[in-house]
Structure 1
Amino acid sequence: MALQVGNMLVRCAGQNHLRCFTSIANKLLQPNINHASRDYSKKSDSLTPTTEETAKPKTALEKAKDVASKIKEAKRKFDLYDPLNQTAQPTLFEAQLPPRAVDIVIVGGGIMGCSIAYHLCREENLIGAKVLVIERDPCYTRASTVLSVGGIRQQFSIPENVKMSMYSSQFLRESKYLLTVDGKDLTDVQFNHQGYLFLATEAGVETMEKNHKVQKDCGASVELLTPRQIKAKFPWINTDGVALGSYGLENEGWFDPWSLLKGLRQKAVAHGCRFINGEVLDFNVLQPGKKDVPLEQHFAGDGRRVRGVKVKAEGYDDVMDVNCAILVLASGWESGRMGRLMGIGEGSASEWMDVPIPVEPRKRYVYVVHAPDGPSIDCPFIVDPSGAYIRREGFGGNYVCGISPEVDSEEPPVDVTSMDDLAVDYDWFDEKLWPKLAHRVPAFNNLKVKSAWAGYYDYNTVDQNAIIGMHPGFPNVYVATGFTGHGIQQAPAVGRYIRDLIFDGEPQDLDLSRFGFERFIYKTPLKEANVV
């Protein structure tokens, strides 16, 4: 009987698992007695009925338990006889190595990669797509996600940015329900609902009013405040030089980026996604058989495509090939380098390969300060016209602050190969940031730096906006990068959008097509005015 079941399982491998399990269970539930081949010539030594023959009929509950037990046993045997290794759980050794083939490879396991994995693997994934996420920094020591200040706002100048943050805000509100896994701690992203307060000088009033109209048209709850109204609402703010303010009334605030990352990752894993610690060294690119293949033939399979990745798993010297049908590039500030490995920016214009992915790392400092006389619970997330920002951290007089350089200003190159490059410049705080904070909020004249850290933006050098969607040179490569400091708040929306493109071929809830790579090819940048 066991051999019979094993043979059935081998034949079933690669087919719909539930159908296999049901078929096997039915087979196992059939009586072991084959009346057609029963030998009636043997005489019984006793006319007394056996215990089996006198047993009481089983109740419906007992039969149901039997069925469940048989199915469980069938699944166990299916795992043992599965030649394609499609259902068996990997051993500890195997879990550290990538599989030979999957449906979708996501390069980058930060907040963006985890959100995309979560949306691809959630309950609606009825086709059973196998997803692999490759992350080379398992402790996330240099990941932009965990080095973020965790802000979320709807005050942008581009409608799609406003809508993404509104979507993500709702996701954060429901995150305990969406991300908690049975047997695991409750996912709590610690969403603090507190509005952003943007301040503008006279020169910035027109831009702020235009942005306000865009935000209101998208359904955002924001209001414009005169200097007198700002002073009445926040009397501890110095309004000198301020001509107008924009304040978010809901769907804004800050949250814990690590908790969101952890929640997305553990939920994706619970739904079958594989994560491995390793570095992608190269890509297996199938080149077209002839030059200048028309776009429609790319989608028909005649053009360029990525067939897989070359991975060096952590702790192993060998470089392994992982074949895939679809590749998602979500590697943050490394996306530009990853694109060049695929030939993006190295090819011809006729093949849409002449323009590189315009993303590079830009270093930013974040400081945690203690100001005993600072504002309390009514402190919003303040963004000064100078680029300085500060928000409350808890209720003990602690604050998180930083400052972004001017968009077009020159910045020194970064050395991402050295951890020394993440050393904090405290003179930057004393010379650049503190004077601006103390001018805007006089209570910050009395403060002390408690800690600080440095991190990298995945900086879009062209228009400081996200790059999302399919790359025009590859019919099976999707990118999600270049968020320029906004990725942590836009990740839930981007994950949903990429999922829709891959599974449905078009957006279902959010249309983010204006953030496609084509705008760099046609030189039509999409500038965002509110970059923090």
Structure 2
Amino acid sequence: MGAVPERGSYDVVIVGGAIMGSAAAWFLTDMGFDGRILVVDRDMSFAKTATATSTSCIRQQFSTDLNVRISQFGAAFINDLRRYMGGDDRVPEIGIRSFGYLYLADTQAFAEDLRARAAVQAAAGAETRLLTPAQIAEDYPFYALDDIVLGSINTKDEGYFDSMAVFEWLRRKAREQGVAYVEAEVVGMEVAGDRVQAVRLSSGERIACGTVLNAAGPRAGQVADMAGIVLPVEPRKRYSWVFKAERPLDRDLPLTIDPSGLHVRENGGGTYQAGGQVGPDPAVDFDDFEMDHALWEDWAWPLVAARIPQFEAIRLTHSWVGHYEMNTVDHNAILGPHPEIGNFLFMNGFSGHGLQQAPAMGRGIAEWLCHGAYRSLDLSGFHYDRLLTNSPLVEAAVI
């Protein structure tokens, strides 16, 4: 890894080296891609990426069949990471701490949404259960449920996993298998006709390319603009808080999605993690990670304590701000080739669920580049074309 590419030409240039870009790079090498791959990222510490600032969880509870199946593969990949990586003894056995996601509905309309989603999930093989307030209270007696009419939970392959370990091994194995990583910023592209001919780096180099893959996270719209492409992806702030409870719960806390929009989950050792966003949700500057400290006292803590009265006595230990790469059209991935500039590929717009989708998306992009088609899951529903024809593929279960 360095600041200057060793070559002036690569078959694939991946813009963005966090979990999406590294998943694509690793799957390409694993499928035996016959070409040279360069990953370019402006900050190889990845400290401010959506990967590093995420909730580090995976769920099956989506409103679209394809997203359920994508996360099912993600769970299989996480649970069997070492085998997927060739049985390498250095790769840790990770697994998923499946405490589940618990959606709480406080209106009949929201309850009907949960029922409809559960039917989609069940048809895809997920083990989602709908719970009455009495059933929730029996399994999790610490909640205040006076306003709740229905809950939805799945405790199989749904919960916490060590996302940074998965990311680190995708990146490490990609590099060991010949992928070049360079710390630089792509600042321009040369487009001629229906192809990107080259990218230009902040360090001054011109890199000719066979394919460009946009895996730039919240900066994806900026990267697409260099090729003259409009991409409706924006950075949106999301807040996270970790707190220690004076009286920890006597069982795992599911990742609980309160009707207010706040979520809170088990973190281990008597600590818990809450997160969310309140009020207007505007696009923000790419470098805006400023914490609004009043949100904890004025919004998050009161909601946590109201839903789980045992959490009235807690101590905030640390907090941070991350960004969603929000697809403002339908909150779903934008994947695959541009319909006119055919060697410009998207891997963007995951709207908060990208981390868990990285294995399936990386595999899909690799299949497209190696075979010219998807061979595992048909991901063509995520193609850019739907934006041109005003045919959104809406994902309603966005946290």
Q: Same fold (TM over 0.5)?
A: yes
- Letter of the structure 1 residue corresponding to residue 219 of structure 2: E
- Cα offset for 1:193? 2.1
Correspondence 1:267-306 to 2 at 5 A: 267-287=173-193, 304-306=194-196
Where do residues 211-360 of structure 1 align in structure 2 (5 Å cutoff)?
Answer: 211-287=117-193, 304-313=194-203, 319-344=204-229, 356-360=230-234
Distance 1:382 1:506, change over 3 A: same
Matched residue type, 1:328: L
1:522 alignment partner, one of 370, 389, 392:
389
The number of equivalent residue pairs is 398
Q: Deviations over 1:430-459 (max 9, x none)?
A: 112112111111111111110011111111
Note if contact 2:329-2:392 (Cα within 8 Å) is conserved in structure 1: yes
Match of 1:195 among 85, 95, 100: 100
Partner SS state of residue 265, structure 1:
helix
**Which residues of structure 2 form unaligned runs of 5+?**
none
1:402 maps to which residue? 275
- 1:361 equivalent among 216, 222, 235: 235
TM-score scaled by length of structure 2: 0.96
Indicate whether 1:464 and 2:331 are aligned: yes
What is the alpha-carbon distance in structure 2 between the residues aligned to residue 100 and residue 327 of structure 1? 14
- 1:447: which partner in 2? 314
Runs of at least 5 residues in structure 1 that lack an aligned partner in the other structure: 1-91, 288-303, 314-318, 345-355
Is residue 24 of structure 2 the alignment partner of residue 116 of structure 1?
yes
Corresponding residue for residue 431 of structure 1: 298
* Residue number in structure 1 paired with 2:262: 388
- Give the letter for the 1:307 counterpart: Q
| Counterpart pick for 2:53 among 128, 138, 147 | 147
CA deviation vs aligned residue, 1:272-294 (integer Å, no higher than 9, x gap): 1111111101011112xxxxxxx
Residue equivalent to 2:244: 370
- The answer to whether the Cα contact below 8 Å between 2:184 and 2:202 also exists between their aligned partners in 1 is yes
Rounded Cα–Cα distance in structure 2 between residues aligned with 1:228 and 1:115: 42
TM-superposed CA distance for 1:187, in Å, is 3.2
Q: Deviations over 1:240-284 (max 9, x none)?
A: 111111110301111122211101000111211111111101011
Give the C-alpha shift of residue 389 in structure 1. Answer: 0.6
- Contact 1:369-1:400 at 8 Å conserved across structures: yes
Q: Distance in 2 between matches of 1:241 and 1:518?
A: 42
Q: Which one has a larger percent strand, Structure 1 or Structure 2?
A: 2
Q: What is residue 42 of structure 1 aligned with on the other side?
A: none
Aligned partner of 1:297 in structure 2 is: none
1:21-76 Cα deviation digits (max 9, x unpaired):
xxxxxxxxxxxxxxxxxxxxxxxxxxxxxxxxxxxxxxxxxxxxxxxxxxxxxxxx
Alignment of 1:147-186 (within 5 A): 147-179=53-85, 185-186=90-91
Amino acid at match of 1:423: E
| Contact persistence 1:197–1:245 (CA under 8 A) | yes
**What is the letter of the counterpart of residue 255 of structure 2?**
F
In the TM superposition, residue 135 of structure 1 has moved relative to its aligned partner by 0.8
Kept after mapping to 2: 8 A contact 1:102/1:132: yes
Q: Secondary structure at the match of 2:301?
A: helix
Q: Return the alpha-carbon distance in structure 2 between the equivalents of residues 495 and 343 of structure 1.
A: 25
Q: Which amino acid aligns with 2:72?
A: M
The whole-number CA distance in structure 1 between the counterparts of 2:245 and 2:369 is: 49
Aligned counterparts of 2:265 and 2:177: Cα–Cα separation in 1: 36
Q: Structure 1 residue 501: deviation in Å?
A: 1.2
Identify, as 1 or 2, the structure richer in helix. Answer: 1
Name the structure 2 match of 1:207. Answer: 113
2:142 alignment partner, SS class: coil
The 1:189/1:137 distance shift into structure 2, 3 A limit, reads farther
Identity of aligned residues (%): 36
**Alignment of 1:485 onto 2:352:** yes
Relative contact order (C-alpha < 8 Å, sep 6+): which is higher? 2
Q: What is the CA distance between 1:411 and its match in structure 2?
A: 2.8
| Distance in structure 2 (CA, Å) of the matches to 1:473 and 1:370 | 52
Find the counterpart in structure 1 of residue 284 from structure 2.
Answer: 414
Give the equivalent residue in structure 1 for 2:14.
Answer: 106
**Inter-CA distance 180–96: structure 2 relative to 1 (3 Å threshold):** farther
RMSD over aligned CA atoms reads 1.7
Q: Which residue identity is paired with 1:397? A: G
4+ aligned runs moved over 2 Å, structure 1: 95-98, 176-182, 184-191, 409-417
CA contact (8 A) 2:133 2:148 kept: yes
Q: Give the whole-Å Cα distance in 2 for the aligned partners of 1:428 and 1:190.
A: 33
Contact 1:111 1:261 survives alignment (8 Å): yes
Determine which structure has more spread, i.e. the larger CA radius of gyration. 1
**Letter of the 2:334 counterpart:** I
Asked if 2 retains the 8 angstrom alpha-carbon contact of 1:155 and 1:162, the reply is: yes
What one-letter code is carried by the residue in structure 2 that aligns with 1:498?
I
Find the aligned partners of 1:478 and 1:249 in 2 and give their Cα distance: 35
Residue type matched to 1:103 in 2? D
Question: Deviation of residue 218 (structure 1)?
Answer: 0.6
Name the SS of the counterpart of 1:193 in structure 2: coil
Deviation, 1:404, is: 3.2
Q: Residue 422 of structure 1 aligns to a residue in which SS? A: coil
Amino acid at match of 1:366: S
2:25 and 2:179 in contact (8 A); partners too = yes
The answer to whether the 8 A contact 2:237-2:277 is kept is: no
**Distance (Å, rounded) in 1 between the aligned partners of 2:162 and 2:155:** 20
Task: Report the AA paired with residue 284 of structure 2.
Answer: V
